[in-house]
Amino acid sequence: MWSFEKSNLCLCLLGTSLSFGFGVAFANPYAYSYGYKVSNSNWNPAVTTGYGDPDGNGSNGGACGYGSLVDVQPFKARVTAVSPILFKNGEGCGACYMVKCLDKSICSSSAVTVIVTDECPGCSSTHFDLSGAAFGHLSLPGRGGQLRNRGILPVVYRRTPCTYPGMKISFRLNDGSRTYWLSLLVVFEGGDGDIGAMYIKQATSSEWMPMAHSWRANWYITGRGPLKGPFSVKLITLSTRKTLTARDVIPTNFLAGATYTSRLNL
């Protein structure tokens, strides 16, 4: 359990780190600028805003490159853009967070779970820019309008395992992929959700060839062709360094733009 209480501390400056002269520094001052003090170390202070229509699903695609997937389940109404510190140059894409509003007068006691699909490059410190629907779920019934009128809200957040019931981890071959250049986007990765490293292996070889992180949530390999399938893919999560291996997931006669689903159901 966690709790919060109103604090008498008053912030007169905004920045990435503030101390109050008694040896305590807060990495995110915004949650305290509203006078709230979080008392559970399992949650971290942040701020949140909402964008788009009040019931909107979020941006069409977003900086992670998930495209139209953000408009359908399981992403629908559960997406968020995040500040650079959480986006991590795209390696934070796919991570799942629980976000909880602090003001009991307008906020629900339940947290909303969201998936990182976009970046908010102008957002400073630790900031969640939620889809309209996700932002609305933070409020008490009938208080959504009041919540939106507040603008920037103090919240607490924590990482949570991603769950995609009935879905299996899948790999989309990006447009332009061929035997001399392969580019992959991973979707529906349960658990950590993020990726710190990725490798690919040809069926005729025992070598796991490292892929490079290019942009957004995309990884690629070049200069090793012609590559021959079927291909196995191994990824290492960024958060806990867990290894996931999808054997022979990409066929020999692969097609650029196609999505191939593994037997892994995380």
> Which of 13-17, 44-48, 225-229 has the weakest average pLDDT?
13-17
pLDDT at 78 over 80: yes
Which domains are present in the chain?
Answer: 4-159 (2.40.40.10), 170-261 (2.60.40.760)
68: confidence class by pLDDT, cuts 50, 70, 90: confident
- Round to whole Å and give the CA distance between 156 and 177: 41
pLDDT at 94 over 60: yes
Mean pLDDT computed over 51-73 = 76
- Round to whole Å and give the CA distance between 183 and 14: 41
- Torsion of the alpha carbons at 37, 191, 166 and 248, rounded to the nearest 10: 160
pLDDT at 214: 85
Q: How wide is the angle at C-alpha 218 spanned by C-alphas 182 and 87, nearest 5°?
A: 170
Mean pLDDT computed over 230-256 = 95
43: confidence class by pLDDT, cuts 50, 70, 90: very high
Query: What is the number of alpha carbons within 13 Å of residue 28 lying toward its C-beta?
Result: 25
- Round to whole Å and give the CA distance between 163 and 188: 8
> Which of 65-74, 106-115, 256-265 has the weakest average pLDDT?
65-74
Q: Record the tokens describing residue 163, joined without a space.
A: 């769950």
20: confidence class by pLDDT, cuts 50, 70, 90: very low
Q: Which segments of the chain does DSSP mark as H helices, in order?
A: 30-33, 84-87, 132-136, 144-150
The model's pLDDT over 210-232, given as tens digits with 9 standing for 90+, comes to 999 987 889 999 988 899 999 99
Percentage of the chain beyond pLDDT 70 is 81
pLDDT at 65: 85
246: confidence class by pLDDT, cuts 50, 70, 90: very high
How much is the mean pLDDT over the chain? 82
pLDDT at 39: 57
pLDDT at 37: 58
pLDDT at 221: 96
Type of residue numbered 265:
N
Mean pLDDT computed over 15-36 = 36
pLDDT at 266 over 70: no
The model's pLDDT over 101-142, given as tens digits with 9 standing for 90+, comes to 998 889 999 999 999 999 998 898 899 999 888 998 899 988
pLDDT at 59: 65
- Round to whole Å and give the CA distance between 169 and 183: 16
